[in-house]
Amino acid sequence: MKKILALILAAMMLLSVVACDKTPAETPDVEQGGDKTDDTTAGDGTENDDNTVGSDVIAPTVEAGTLGETLWNAFKDAVAANEAATTEELANTLVTNPAIQFMGGAMPLDAATELFTGFDEYKITGFESAALYMPMIGSIPFVGYVFDVAEGTDVNAFIKALTDNCNPRWNICVEAEQTVAGAIGEKVFFLMCPKTLDDGSQGGEMGPVGGADVYYPITLEEGTVGYSFWCAFEDIMIEGAITNPAEIANALCMAELVPMGLGAMEVAPGLLTGFDNYEVTDFSSGAVFMPMIGSIPFVGYIFQVEEGIDMVNYVNDLSANCNPRWNVCVEADETLVGYYGNTVFFLMCPASMGE
């Protein structure tokens, strides 16, 4: 499994440097390390208890209560617990932190690595070992590294080179809100990420994508039917060429993601397939996409929600009131609910479908 994960992450790194537009964005104010200290104060006036770690600390000035602060503190704790921990072990600790609400993984890097996600053409040097940790979904503006710098390397200069050459908009369509860099001894922490990943019963807001807030289904599992349809929906929304629910539903049907014929049609607020006696309302336009064969446990919807509606409550209500066994004889394996802006994606389906 670790080998498969490493291959997936390696492929994502390669793709990240051949994006449609490689023009770096202006780097925002960076929350980077300062002078070495044993007792530092963050930029917001909150004291960082960095003297709990025996090694020299270069503490970032990071906004209190943010994801960057949470992961920096987790990094400090992990090093304090085991100063001999490898960069890969530390990266695995960080990517499995409860604050992270996405499926992700870590992979080791060595000094011969040429391509670094988030750094465009800049090649990072001066380290003996490193590890990358990031989400499986490439549209989330999150990438983190742990470095073990080489003997004789100036750690302050190493951190400055990272912050000077990183590109928070490496993913073109999304942009990290925080760049956090610091060190404990020879181990360097570097992270570009959103300030928050809100936890919700069906996913979490992952920040702006193409100018819209995104809420990812928490049940998203790579390799499933639902994953394929969500990724296709995500691509459509990022491209932005079509926004009408009926057109989006038709595009999903035409994508031939499953070995069966799918059809789409517009729907009006009221009783809808898959929701028993619950009336789905508060959308200005909507469309259903489903197979021609009624015995297949598959039904999907695209809704354009009315202005002023709380989107998180809306998707949670859909999830709470749907019935995966609406078809009586069969039952859907997956229920996925998410949104881009005010466009909601809903799908109940099998996890896999044979040819």
**Chosen domain end from 153, 168, 193:** 193
CB within 8 A of 12, min separation 6: which ones? 117, 134, 136, 138
Note whether 91 and 221 are same-domain residues: no
In this prediction, residues 53-77 reach a mean pLDDT of 88
Q: Rounded to whole angstroms, how far apart are CA atoms 304 and 283?
A: 5
The count of structural domains within the chain is 2
Residue that wins the pLDDT comparison between 98 and 155: 155
Confidence check: pLDDT of 24 > 60: no
Residue 20 is predicted with a pLDDT of 38
Note whether 78 and 143 are same-domain residues: yes
Q: Rounded to whole angstroms, how far apart are CA atoms 194 and 297?
A: 36
Note whether 121 and 169 are same-domain residues: yes
In this prediction, residues 62-75 reach a mean pLDDT of 94
Residue 247 is predicted with a pLDDT of 96
Residue that wins the pLDDT comparison between 188 and 235: 188
Residue that wins the pLDDT comparison between 257 and 13: 257
Q: Rounded to whole angstroms, how far apart are CA atoms 87 and 107?
A: 9
Q: Rounded to whole angstroms, how far apart are CA atoms 278 and 285?
A: 18
Q: Rounded to whole angstroms, how far apart are CA atoms 259 and 14?
A: 30
Q: Rounded to whole angstroms, how far apart are CA atoms 164 and 336?
A: 40
Q: Rounded to whole angstroms, how far apart are CA atoms 174 and 162?
A: 20
Percent of the chain's residues with pLDDT above 90: 53
Ranked by mean pLDDT, the top range of 23-37, 158-172, 192-206 is 158-172
Confidence check: pLDDT of 187 > 60: yes
**Chosen domain end from 135, 167, 193:** 193
Instruction: Work out the mean pLDDT of the chain and round it to a whole number.
Output: 81
Note whether 15 and 73 are same-domain residues: yes
Note whether 112 and 183 are same-domain residues: yes
Confidence check: pLDDT of 135 > 90: no
Interval 229-253: pLDDT, tens: 998 998 898 888 899 999 999 999 9
Note whether 181 and 224 are same-domain residues: no
Residue 139 is predicted with a pLDDT of 67
Q: Rounded to whole angstroms, how far apart are CA atoms 284 and 268?
A: 8
Interval 78-128: pLDDT, tens: 999 999 999 999 999 998 888 887 777 888 998 888 889 999 989 999 999
**Does 198 fall in a domain?**
no
Note whether 243 and 113 are same-domain residues: no
Confidence check: pLDDT of 166 > 90: yes
Angle between helix 67-81 and helix 87-95 axes, rounded to 10 deg = 140
Confidence check: pLDDT of 198 > 80: no
- Between the CA of residue 72 and those of 38, 164, 227, 233, what are the distances in Å? 15, 20, 31, 34
Note whether 33 and 151 are same-domain residues: yes
**Does 354 fall in a domain?**
no
**Chosen domain end from 158, 174, 193:** 193
Q: Residue 86 has which token pair?
A: 């490898």
Confidence check: pLDDT of 201 > 50: no
Residue 131 is predicted with a pLDDT of 95
Q: What's the pTM? A: 0.51
Minimal CA–CA distance to 144: which of 195, 197, 68?
68
Confidence check: pLDDT of 175 > 60: yes
Q: In terms of residue numbers, what domain contains 62?
A: 2-193
